[in-house]
Structure 1
Amino acid sequence: MEKQVNVLVVGEGGREFAIAKKLVESKHVKQVFCAPGNSGMPAVGVQPVDIAETDFAGLIRFAKNHEVAWTFVGPEDCLVDGIVDEFAAAGLKTFGPDARAAQLEGSKDYALNFMDNYHVPTACHAAYRDQTAAISNVDQFGFPVVIKENGLAGGKGVVIAQTKAEAIETIKSMFAGGQARLVLEECLQGPEYSMFVLVSNGHYRILPMAQDHKRAYDGDKGPNTGGMGAYSPLPQLDPTDYQKMVDQVVKPTINGLVEGSYHYHGILYIGLILTTDGPKVIEYNVRFGDPETQVILPRLKTDLFELVEAAINDQPLPEIKEDDAACLGVVLASKGYPVKPVHGQKLGEFPHQLGIEIDYANVAGPLDDLKGAGGRLLMVISKEKTLQAAYQRVYQYLQALDEPECFYRHDIGKKAGLK
C-alpha cells in the first residue's frame, strides 16, 4: 500500500468543511487537519487545529511539525494577504494563487482591467477614487446601476441601485465607510451561473457547474449575502451556451494568466451571466465559493486529493468525472443576517436523517448542544437521483426544524423548474 499523507485545510466555514470532508474520502490521505476549523468537523473525521487562519507563522510551524504534504487555502483574505508566498518562502507547498494573482479577487478594478487586457467579455465599467466624479458619471451606466466596493467584502459589497437617488446615496455611503475606490458597472441581465476551474499554470479542468443564490430572501429580494443556497447540475443551461462560456470566457482567462506570468495553482471561480449577447463575467474569485462547494464536491467522482496533488506539482491533471446524481443545499442563517445577525442562539441538535448531510459553518459547542456563532450557520444538503428529489428532501427536513432565531430561503432550485 502506498504511503498516506497528512494535509491541512485553512479556514473555518462551510466551504472548508466540504473541502476537508472530501479529502477525508481519499485513499491517499492519512489525516486532514483544518485550522481553525469548527466544532462540526470531528464528526466527519477532520481534526480542527486551534490556529487562526491569519496566523501564517503558526500555520507554517504546524505544517512542518506534522509533516503536512500540502495546504489547501480556503479563504480569500488569506490569499490576498500572501499566505501562499509565505508558505513558499518556508519551502512548503500550498494550493492557491500567490498574492499577485489573488488581486483578481482582492481588487474589482484590477480584475476588470485584466478582463479588458485579455479580451474577456464583461460589463461596461469604470473605477472612481473620488465621490464627486463617481456621482457625476453615474448616469452613463443607466439604471439600475451596479455599485461595488473595490476590495474584499465577503460577497456583500455590491449594491444594485434602481434609481439615481439610490445610487448617489450608496456612493456617498461607501466612501464615508472608508472605501478608497469603488466601481460602477452597467447592470447585466440574464441568469447567473457559477463556474469553478482548477488551474495549474496554463492547464485547467472545469468542475461541475452550480447556481448560487446571493440575495437574503425568497424571490431574490433583500440584501446581498455570502450565498443562501446552491444546486448542481444545471438542467436549464443549454450545452451550446456552456461551450460559449468555455470558448469565450475560460480560454481567454487562462491565456491571460499565462501571458501575464501569473503563479496560479488553485481554484478560479468565474461568476457568469448569460446575456442576450452571450456569456459575460460578473467577477472572479480566487478560491472555491460558499455555498457552491457544498453541492459541487459531492458530485465530483474524481479524487480531489489527486487533482490538487497534480496541480501543485505541475503534473498532468486527471479528467473530471461527475456523478449523475443531483445535489441541492439550503443555508440556515441567523436571524438578521447579513446586516446584524443574532449570535449565541441555542440551536440544539440536528437529527441524522437518511439522504441528508449537514455541513457546519458558524457554530460552536458539541453537536448535541450547538449554539450559533455567526451569520450562515450550516447548510442542509441532499444528493439524489434528481434535483426534484433532493429539493423535496431538503425542505422536508428544514420544515421540521424549530429554530425561531434562524431563517432560510424557500426557493432554492426554483430557477431549475423545481416545485
Structure 2
Amino acid sequence: MTDKVNLLVIGEGGREFAIAKKLKRSPHVDHVYCAPGNVGMPTVGVEPVDIEENDFAGLIRFAKEHDVKWTFVGPEDCLVDGIVDDFHAAGLKIFGPDARAAQLEGSKDYALNFMNNYGVPTTKHASYRDQTAILEHVDQFGYPVVIKENGLAGGKGVVIAKDHDEAVQTIKEMFASGQARIVLEECLDGPEYSMFVVISNGHYRILPMAQDHKRAYDGDRGPNTGGMGAYSPLPQLADADREQMINEVVKPTVDGLVKGEYHYHGILYIGLMLTADGPKVIEYNVRLGDPETQVVLPRLATDLYELVDAAIDDRPLPEIKESAEASFGVVLASKGYPKKPVHGQELGSFPASEGIEIDYANVSGTLDHLKGAGGRLLMVIAEENTLQEAHDRVYSYLDQLDRPECFYRHDIGAKAGV
C-alpha cells in the first residue's frame, strides 16, 4: 500500500464526528484532523484543530502545512459562503459543492426553481418578499400549510401551521426576525425518507437510506429540530418505491446538475415524501444530514475514503456495499431545545457499554467532566443484527442515565415497527 494520507474534516458536531470516525478507520488514512472539532473526537482517534469553520484562510494554511490530501466539508454555512471556491483557488482538493451549487440549500426558492426547471417532482409552492402579499395568498394553500424561512436554518426554520391564525402569526414573526423571503408550500401526506447521493460531475452513488425524526417530542409533537434520532435500514420501504425515487427524483436531479453546468462534486441530500401520487422532494441539502449520518455511515461497507477520493478526482465511483447490520441512534438534547436550550449543565462522563457508541456533538469540558454546550449534545448508537435489537440496546443505555437537564425521544423507529 502507498503511504497513508492526512485528511481534514470541517465542522464540530455529531455529523462531523461520524464522518471523521469513518475516515479514520480506512486503511488508507493516517491522521484525520477536524476543525474545530469537539472534545469527544480523540475517543475515535481524531485530532481537533482550534480553527473556526468560517476561517477559510486559516483552514487553507493548515491544510497546506499538514500535507492534507483533501478536505471534507460538513456544515452547509461554509459551503454557501464559498469555502470550496476558496480552496480551489488555493490549489487544494476539497469535497463539497461550490457556492453556486450550494444555493440549492442556501435558498429554498432557488431549489424549488431548480426542481421546476428540470422536472423534479415537488409540492405546490410560492415564495414572497412582501408580507401583505403572502397574507393575502396563504389561505389558497389549504391547512395545514408549510411555512419556511428561505435561507439557512440549521434544519429548522419550518413551521407547519394548522390554521389561518397560526399561519398569520408565524409569517409575521418570520418577517419580524429579519427574513427577506418566505416560502409557502402545500402540506404533503406520507412517510418521509432521507436519501444521500454522492455525486461526481454527473456520476452518482446512493448511500444507505435512513429515516430522521424532526419533531422534538414523542408522537411527532413539538417544534421542528435538527433531528432527534434516526435509523437504517428502512424495512417499511419497498424496493419498488426506492426504484421509483431513483428514477423520478435522483436521475432528473443529477441530469439537471449536468445541464445547468454545476460541476457538482459532493453530497446531495434529498428529503423525500412518498405520497399517494409518488415521491416528491421536500428539500435539498448540499451535505450529509445530522443525525442520519451517524447511522448511515456505520452501514456503509464501502471504504468512505475510496469513495470520496474517486469522486474528487472524477474517477469511476466504487459500488456501494451495505452492511447487513441495522444501525439505530437517539439524540440526547439539552432541556428546552430547540427554542431555549439549557447551557452548561453538568453531564459528568458517559460510561462505556458493550455494543454502544457515542458520537459527541455540543459538549465542552473534558471527557471525565463534560458539560452541555446547548442543543443536541450527543447521539447514542448501536449496531445489531436487527433494528429491534439495536433499538433495545440504545434505550437500555439511555434509561440508565440520570441527566435531569436533558431529554430524548422514546419512540425513534416506531414507523419501522420497533
Per the TM superposition, whether the score is higher than 0.5 is yes
Aligned runs of 1:213-252 on 2, under 5 Å? 213-252=213-252
What's the counterpart of residue 283 of structure 1? 283
How far apart in 2 are the matches of 1:103 and 1:210? Answer: 24
2:128 corresponds to 1:131:
no
Instruction: For residue 274 of structure 1, give the secondary structure of its aligned residue in structure 2.
Output: strand
**CA deviation profile, 1:19-38 (whole Å, cap 9, x unmatched):** 00000011111100000000
What's the counterpart of residue 192 of structure 1? 192
What's the counterpart of residue 118 of structure 2? 118
How far apart in 2 are the matches of 1:25 and 1:178? Answer: 43
How far apart in 1 are the matches of 2:376 and 2:298? Answer: 20
Deviation of 1:365 after TM superposition, in Å, equals 1.5
What's the counterpart of residue 355 of structure 2? 355
**CA deviation profile, 1:187-238 (whole Å, cap 9, x unmatched):** 0000000000000000000000000000000000000000000000000001
Deviation of 1:264 after TM superposition, in Å, equals 1.0
What's the counterpart of residue 9 of structure 2? 9
What's the counterpart of residue 391 of structure 2? 391
What's the counterpart of residue 204 of structure 1? 204
How far apart in 2 are the matches of 1:26 and 1:36? Answer: 22
Aligned runs of 1:42-191 on 2, under 5 Å? 42-191=42-191
Aligned runs of 1:363-378 on 2, under 5 Å? 363-378=363-378
How far apart in 2 are the matches of 1:70 and 1:166? Answer: 47
What's the counterpart of residue 35 of structure 1? 35
Aligned runs of 1:339-354 on 2, under 5 Å? 339-354=339-354
Amino acid of the structure 1 residue aligned with 2:7: V
How far apart in 2 are the matches of 1:139 and 1:351? Answer: 52
How far apart in 2 are the matches of 1:242 and 1:58? Answer: 42
Amino acid of the structure 2 residue aligned with 1:214: K
What's the counterpart of residue 296 of structure 1? 296
Paired positions, count: 418
Deviates more, 1:198-207 or 1:368-377: 368-377
Structure 2 unaligned residues grouped into runs of 5+? none
How far apart in 1 are the matches of 2:191 and 2:387? Answer: 18
Amino acid of the structure 2 residue aligned with 1:411: D
How far apart in 1 are the matches of 2:365 and 2:44? Answer: 16
Amino acid of the structure 2 residue aligned with 1:204: Y
**CA deviation profile, 1:125-151 (whole Å, cap 9, x unmatched):** 000000000000011111000000000
How far apart in 2 are the matches of 1:256 and 1:141? Answer: 28
Instruction: For residue 17 of structure 1, give the secondary structure of its aligned residue in structure 2.
Output: helix
Return the TM-score normalized by structure 2: 1.00
Instruction: For residue 219 of structure 2, give the secondary structure of its aligned residue in structure 1.
Output: helix
Deviation of 1:156 after TM superposition, in Å, equals 1.1
Deviation of 1:263 after TM superposition, in Å, equals 2.4
Deviation of 1:369 after TM superposition, in Å, equals 1.0
How far apart in 2 are the matches of 1:374 and 1:100? Answer: 31
How far apart in 2 are the matches of 1:70 and 1:377? Answer: 28
How far apart in 2 are the matches of 1:236 and 1:259? Answer: 34
How far apart in 2 are the matches of 1:402 and 1:4? Answer: 42
How far apart in 1 are the matches of 2:366 and 2:233? Answer: 33
How far apart in 2 are the matches of 1:88 and 1:263? Answer: 13
Instruction: For residue 70 of structure 1, give the secondary structure of its aligned residue in structure 2.
Output: strand
**CA deviation profile, 1:310-366 (whole Å, cap 9, x unmatched):** 000000000000000000000000000000000010000101000100000000121
How far apart in 2 are the matches of 1:265 and 1:164? Answer: 42
Structure 1 unaligned residues grouped into runs of 5+? none
What's the counterpart of residue 260 of structure 2? 260
How far apart in 1 are the matches of 2:365 and 2:357? Answer: 19
How far apart in 2 are the matches of 1:31 and 1:408? Answer: 33
Amino acid of the structure 2 residue aligned with 1:406: C
Percent identity between matched residues is 78
Amino acid of the structure 1 residue aligned with 2:91: G
Deviation of 1:2 after TM superposition, in Å, equals 1.1
How far apart in 2 are the matches of 1:408 and 1:250? Answer: 33
How far apart in 2 are the matches of 1:2 and 1:83? Answer: 29
How far apart in 1 are the matches of 2:263 and 2:148? Answer: 26
Structure 1 moving runs of 4+ over 2 Å: none
How far apart in 1 are the matches of 2:209 and 2:166? Answer: 34
Deviation of 1:401 after TM superposition, in Å, equals 0.1
Return the TM-score normalized by structure 1: 0.99
Amino acid of the structure 2 residue aligned with 1:78: C
How far apart in 2 are the matches of 1:264 and 1:65? Answer: 27
Instruction: For residue 219 of structure 1, give the secondary structure of its aligned residue in structure 2.
Output: coil
How far apart in 2 are the matches of 1:158 and 1:257? Answer: 26
How far apart in 1 are the matches of 2:360 and 2:145? Answer: 35
How far apart in 2 are the matches of 1:324 and 1:28? Answer: 24
How far apart in 1 are the matches of 2:118 and 2:164? Answer: 32
